[in-house]
Amino acid sequence: MENQHISNHDKAVLTRIFNPNLPYGDTYDEDEQLEEAFEEEIETAEVLEAKRLEVEGVKGALADLDKAIQLCEGHGKVACQAYTQRGLIKRLQEDDCGAKEDLTHAAHLGGQFAKHLLVAMNPYAALCNQMLADVMGRLRAGEEQMD
């Protein structure tokens, strides 16, 4: 099999599709990411304790968010914020279905940030939004030059 060369433009397009939250113009260097992933962290007693406390903190946060949603009966600004925060935690835990469900509830309650996150979780929608923003930016720049 031949080694295929991918142009910088192709890399940029793939980056926008699969990593829509990266700042525009940044690219994803797969080799660099793999090297970082395989670098081993020295697991001292302190590092292990920090990891344990982090897991416990997330469990306490989720329980608190569940309780807030229950007390608000799933309505209002507090519920919107709780759904958003719980959705973010679920997203970090790679529970995309649960994250989308919570963020959708938050979006229906008027959460603009939740709406933005839902779009960002859909790489095709994020790419379309970026492309549209680029086109609009070019049109505005062209209009300003004509004035």
The reply to whether 2 falls in a domain is: no
The reply to whether 134 falls in a domain is: yes
Instruction: Say how many domains are in the chain.
Output: 1
CA atoms of 121 and 89, how far apart (whole Å): 14
The reply to whether 28 falls in a domain is: no
Q: What is the pLDDT of residue 5?
A: 63
The reply to whether 124 falls in a domain is: yes
Model confidence pTM above 0.85: no
The reply to whether 9 falls in a domain is: no
The reply to whether 47 falls in a domain is: yes
The boundaries of the domain holding residue 79 are 42-146
Q: Three-state DSSP class for 3?
A: coil
CA atoms of 32 and 37, how far apart (whole Å): 9
Q: Three-state DSSP class for 2?
A: coil
Q: What is the pLDDT of residue 78?
A: 93
The reply to whether 98 falls in a domain is: yes
Summarised one tens digit per residue, pLDDT across range 14-50 is: 666 666 566 555 555 555 554 555 566 678 888 888 8
The reply to whether 54 falls in a domain is: yes
**CATH at residue 126:** 1.25.40
pLDDT band at 1 (very low <50, low <70, confident <90, very high): very low
Summarised one tens digit per residue, pLDDT across range 118-138 is: 888 877 766 777 788 788 888
Q: Are 82 and 69 in contact (CB under 8 A)?
A: yes
Summarised one tens digit per residue, pLDDT across range 83-98 is: 999 999 998 888 989 9
Q: In the structure encoding, which two tokens stand for residue 67, read together? A: 């309780």
